[in-house]
Amino acid sequence: MLDKEIILWDECIEIFKKVSNKRLNEFLDEMVLFITKHKMSFNEVADLNFLEFICSIDSNKFIIGTTGDNFEGLSKKYINTKQPTLREILKIISNTIWDLTTITTDEICPHCKSDNLRILTDFKKENIYKSCETCFWIECNGKAYVRPQDLFPADKDIISRLKENT
């Protein structure tokens, strides 16, 4: 392992040790700060659009933790993870950020009947998508779509726009 990976993972573990399901905004802020601080290291293994998205996150603009995940439990799993590579560190952090910031709706997927529909948007926040985490079905304006390349969790502004249109 590279020394850089060991240092990054040790810092990551410290963030996971402090997670509280009651203070998810603070947890998200710490992870965003971690990614922002080490952005240059992650540039070599990251999707740069998603990396930019992560660095731009303001936890106050998102509805945090609607997936029902137990982030305290997940953190224990990550704390016990053997030394991951740089790519794996980024994957752990970005998946956690994704789960914290994506809104899970009460709607049922019309394709597979799962209750894992999430609200996403494109990079420019022009379109609003409903996406199934189980079967990857996706729709925009009531029509099924092939999944666009870059989708991101919808923030509170996007959610209110969606509510206005329904």
Residue 116: the pLDDT is: 78
pTM of the predicted protein model? 0.90
- Over residues 86-97, the mean pLDDT reads 95
| Polymer length of the chain | 166
Q: Is the pLDDT of residue 1 over 60?
A: no
Phi-psi region of 136 (alpha: psi -120 to 50; beta: other; left: phi over 0): left
Q: What is the DSSP letter of 113?
A: -
Of 164 and 44, more confident: 44
CA–CA separation, 157 and 68 (whole Å): 22
Q: Which pLDDT band, with edges at 50, 70 and 90, does 166 fall under?
A: low
Share of the chain above pLDDT 90, in %: 66
Cα dihedral across residues 111, 112, 116, 121: positive or negative: negative
Per-residue model confidence as pLDDT tens digits over 15-28: 999 999 999 999 99
Q: How confident is the model at residue 129 (pLDDT cuts 50, 70, 90)?
A: very high
SS3 call for 58: coil
Arithmetic mean of pLDDT over the chain: 91
Output helix, strand, coil percentages for the chain, rounded to the nearest 5: 50, 15, 40
Per-residue pLDDT at 69: 82
Q: Which residues pair with 130 in a beta bridge?
A: 119, 139
